[in-house]
Amino acid sequence: MKILVVDDEADVQPLFLQRFRKEIKNHEIEFSFAQSGEEALQYLEEKHSEVVLILSDINMPGMSGIELLDHIRHDYNMPPPPVVMMITAYGDDENYRQAMDKGADDFLTKPLDFNLLKEKLKTISA
């Protein structure tokens, strides 16, 4: 299962890689990273068919996660549509409502609960 993680903080990358160490080693999960919405779209341009799940931060400089979500739902929504989970440090209603309106599948708040995330991944891959 290919997962694209979009976050402007570069340090989320080793974090994901280590948290899913076993899964990566067993080739259950493969991670790709983008540090901005723009970079994520570039990546999707070529590999959107491979990506099963997109985890995106909302609050990023430039294109926000919500805008990225909008693009994904418009341009890369051919079946099966990718699962998109939004992540934000601001877990408020407005953010949640916006994300859900634009077609997010789930809404996670920082700090990420990786155990919870793993549970969710299991239901997706199943």
Binding residues for other proteins, rule: CB under 8 A, are: 9, 11, 14-15, 18-19, 21-22, 59, 61-64, 67, 89-90, 92, 94-95, 98, 110-112, 114
Q: DSSP string spanning 54-94?
A: EEEES--SSS-HHHHHHHHHHHS-PSSPPEEEEEES---HH
| Nearest distance in Å: CB 75, other proteins | 16
| Nearest distance in Å: CB 65, other proteins | 10
| Nearest distance in Å: CB 12, other proteins | 8
Which pair of structure tokens corresponds to residue 97?
Answer: 């409502």
Q: Which is nearer to other proteins, 48 or 114 (CB)?
A: 114
Q: Which is nearer to other proteins, 20 or 44 (CB)?
A: 20
Q: Quick one: which of 17, 11, 9 has its CA closest to 35?
A: 9
Q: Which is nearer to other proteins, 67 or 105 (CB)?
A: 67
Q: Which is nearer to other proteins, 12 or 54 (CB)?
A: 12
Task: Give 33's contacts (C-beta < 8 A, 6+ positions apart).
Answer: 4, 5, 6, 7, 12, 13, 16
